[in-house]
């Protein structure tokens, strides 16, 4: 069984993984910076997380939520920075990288591609998980959507 790391990229990084035994773990990592620190600290924190607790080299595949619309320019820039760091880490470690769109993930989780955060959280609770927040729930939903899509092909 493939080990898969699923990431909901952002300053509150939602993550979920299935290990090679089929066990699923999930949570959220706060990548925020201390007051007064430069923006680059968030990227530094993410890169360190990918080399440490979320070490991409421990997985057969890494997937992430492909966001095409952001709440603002700053959010779009931050997400793009996280995506670049993730892509570079996966290339460096020779780990395949895949993505699914937000609507596809939400539709798989709730039946509606435009479902709200509460609906995704409720869907993950219905599966027996207790997500810490919507980022955690999104990472779980992404993991399940990818696994079930892969199993059906």
In the predicted structure, residue 120 carries a pLDDT above the cut 60:
yes
Alpha-helix runs per DSSP H in the chain: 40-51, 73-93, 102-110, 117-126, 134-152
* Model confidence pTM above 0.75: yes
CATH number, position 107: 3.30.420.10
Number of domains in the chain: 1
* Those residues with Cβ within 8 angstroms of residue 36's Cβ, 6 or more apart along the chain or in another chain: none
In the predicted structure, residue 49 carries a pLDDT above the cut 90:
yes
Domain residue limits at 8: 4-152
Question: What percentage of the chain has pLDDT greater than the value 90?
Answer: 75
Tell me what the mean pLDDT of segment 12-40 comes to: 92
**Token reading at 140:** 């779980």
């Amino acid at each position: 069984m493939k080990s898969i790391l699923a990431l909901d990229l952002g300053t509150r990084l939602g993550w979920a993984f299935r290990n090679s035994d089929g066990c699923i773990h999930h949570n959220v990592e706060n990548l925020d910076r201390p007051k007064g620190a430069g923006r680059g600290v968030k990227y530094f924190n993410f890169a360190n997380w990918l080399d440490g607790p979320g070490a991409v080299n421990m997985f057969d595949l890494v997937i992430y939520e492909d966001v095409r619309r952001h709440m603002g320019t700053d959010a779009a820039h931050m997400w793009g920075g996280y995506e670049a760091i993730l892509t570079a880490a996966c290339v460096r470690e020779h780990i395949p990288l895949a993505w699914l769109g937000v609507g596809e993930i939400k539709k798989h989780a709730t039946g509606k591609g435009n479902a709200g955060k509460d609906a995704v959280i409720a869907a993950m609770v219905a599966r027996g998980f207790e997500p810490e927040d919507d980022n955690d729930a999104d990472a779980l939903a992404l993991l399940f959507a990818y696994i079930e899509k892969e199993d059906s092909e």
